[in-house]
Amino acid sequence: MRKFRTSKRRGPLPTRYVLLLSIAFFTVTTIISIVIIDEGIKPTLMRYAESEMKKIASYVTNEAIKDHVSGGKNSKLDTIDPRELAATQSEIENQITRQFKEVEEGDITSLEEISNDGMLGKKKKSEPEIFSVPLGKVTNIALLGNMGPDIPVTFQMVGDVESSNIKVKKEEYGINNAFFYIYVEIKIKMQVIIPFASDVITYTHDVPLAMGNYNGDVPQFYNGNGGGAQPLIELPKNTK
C-alpha cells in the first residue's frame, strides 16, 4: 500500500512579520494618498493664491493713482505738459515698486484696508509669508473653510514695473467738447510661491496720468448730423 504523508499545517505568521507588513502597507498607501491629494489640491490652492495676489496688486496700484492723479469727469483740461505726464508716470511706478518691495519682505503696513478685511492677518516684517490660506478653503465647503493647517503664500517681483507708451482716449460730446483720458498700461510680474509649487503671473492695469474736459470754441455753424446738408443752426456774429 502507498503511504501518504500528511503535511504539517503552518501556524500564523509571527507577530513581528505582521507588524512589518502592516507598517509597509500603511506607508505605501499613505504616500500614494498624499500624492493624489496634493495633485488635486495644488492647482486649486495656486489659483486662490494668484487671485489674492492680484487683489493686492490692484490695491497697491489704485493707491498710487489716488496719490498722484487728480481730475475726473467734472474737471477741466486746458493744457497738457509732457514733462508733467512723464514725472507723474515715474512717481506712480516708483511708489508701486516701493510698496511691492515692502510687501515682499513681509511688511504689510501699507495695505491697511486689505489687512482690516482679515485677508492678510497680522504679519511681522521678519516673517516671510505674505498671507496664509486654510487648507479647508480649497474644498469650497463652507463648514471646512477655516479648518486644516494654514498654507503660507509668498511672492517675488520678477523684474521692474513695465509700462507702455502714453496713450490717449477721447470721448466727444456736445458741440466741440471732448473728454480726454491720458494713460499708460503697466505690467507687474509676480512669482507666487506656495509649498512645493510656484507660478509666474502678470497683472496689467491702465494707469491714468491726466484726465479732464476740453471745451472748444462754439462754431458759427453747426450741423447736428455731420452730413452734407445745410447748417441747421447759425449763430449771429458779434459786431463791434
Q: What is the reported pLDDT for 122? A: 45
Torsion over CA: 36, 50, 204, 157 (sign): negative
Cβ-contact 135, 147 below 8 angstroms: yes
Q: What is the DSSP letter of 144?
A: G
CA angle 162, 167, 173 (to 5 degrees): 150
pTM: 0.64
Nearest Cα to Cα of residue 148 among 137, 163, 159, 164 = 137
Q: What is the reported pLDDT for 28? A: 87
User: Cell digits for 126?
Assistant: 521678519
Which residues 6+ apart lie within 8 Å of 175 measured at CB? Answer: 218, 219, 222
User: Cell digits for 98?
Assistant: 516701493
Number of H helices, E strands in the chain: 3, 8
Nearest Cα to Cα of residue 197 among 23, 43, 92, 83 = 43
Q: What is the reported pLDDT for 72? A: 56
Q: What is the reported pLDDT for 225? A: 56
Per residue of the chain (240 residues), give pLDDT as tens. Answer: 555 555 556 656 677 777 888 888 888 888 887 776 667 777 888 888 888 888 888 888 888 888 877 665 556 666 777 888 888 888 888 888 888 888 777 777 766 666 555 455 445 444 556 777 777 666 666 666 666 677 788 888 887 788 888 888 888 887 778 888 888 898 988 888 887 778 888 899 888 888 888 777 766 665 655 555 555 555 555 555
Q: What is the reported pLDDT for 214? A: 78
Q: What is the reported pLDDT for 229? A: 55
